[in-house]
Amino acid sequence: MPTTPRILALGGSLRRDSFNQKLAAIAAAGARSAGAEVTVISLRDFPLPLFDEDLEKSAGKPEAAVRLKAIFREHHGFIIASPEYNSSLTAALKNAIDWVSRADSEDEPMLSALSGRTAVICSASPGALGGLRGLVHLRSILGNLGITVLPDQIAIGGAYQAFREDGSLTDEKQVARVLGLGSGLARHLGKLLA
């Protein structure tokens, strides 16, 4: 019997009304429509100090990092909607990845909650490029951590006008593309897990 793909969806912003959190939720709906089990989280719910190996050694991994890593470990794939800050990904997203990447013991393989997974990436930004420059860095980081990042990606510019107050996109073609990004990941994982 085939395994149902489990996908984690998140936005890379801590902002309460984050465009990228809304974008992740739309892509998650596409993955669900293709048969995946999807968990949507917000990084706001996992307050983390900046990664510091001295802190990790003296106080242990923060409780929020332990919870976040456990969630990542439970999933086969990721939908990551990343805003662009100064032509790159956010410090919050990079910091979360850094904490999740850490082994909890000498017996645990490095990157055990990340390596071998598959991801799709997308972004929304008020700027004309829609966060595209940040996706270049995110794709590189994820690939170096052993995550297969599928080639399709979406960058939505003019985010203030692109979303309605309820979090939906105003452009139906964009809606179809974002839903397709999520469903494409679900189908890809379904084939891998069959």
pTM of the model: 0.96
3: three-class secondary structure by DSSP: coil
Lookup: tokens for 109: 């393989």
* In 74-171, alpha helices (H): 91-101, 132-144, 159-162
**What average pLDDT does this structure show over 4-10?**
98
Q: Which residue reads 């999807």 in tokens?
A: 38
pLDDT class of 127 with cuts at 50, 70, 90: very high
Q: Which domains does the chain have, with CATH numbers?
A: 6-193 (3.40.50.360)
The per-residue pLDDT for 22 is 98
Contacts by residues 106-113 (CB-CB < 8 Å, ≥ 24 positions apart): 111/145, 111/146, 112/73, 113/69, 113/70, 113/72, 113/73
**What average pLDDT does this structure show over 11-15?**
97
* CB-based contacts of 32, cutoff 8 Å, min separation 6: 38, 182, 186
Query: What pLDDT, in 10s, does the model give residues 27-42?
Result: 999 999 999 999 999 9
Q: What is the mean pLDDT of the chain?
A: 97
Lookup: tokens for 179: 């839903």
| CA atoms lying within 13 Å on the CB side of residue 13 | 21
Q: Which residue reads 């917000």 in tokens?
A: 42
The per-residue pLDDT for 149 is 98
Query: What pLDDT, in 10s, does the model give residues 155-190?
Result: 999 999 999 999 999 999 999 999 999 999 999 999
Check whether 5 has a pLDDT greater than 80.
yes
Query: What pLDDT, in 10s, does the model give residues 61-86?
Result: 999 999 999 999 999 999 999 999 99
Say how far apart CA 95 and CA 22 lie, in whole Å. 21
The per-residue pLDDT for 110 is 86
* Neighbour order of strands in the sheet with 6-11: 37-42, 6-11, 77-81, 118-124, 148-156
Report strand pairing: 37-42 vs 77-81: unpaired
Sign of CA dihedral 49, 117, 143, 157: negative
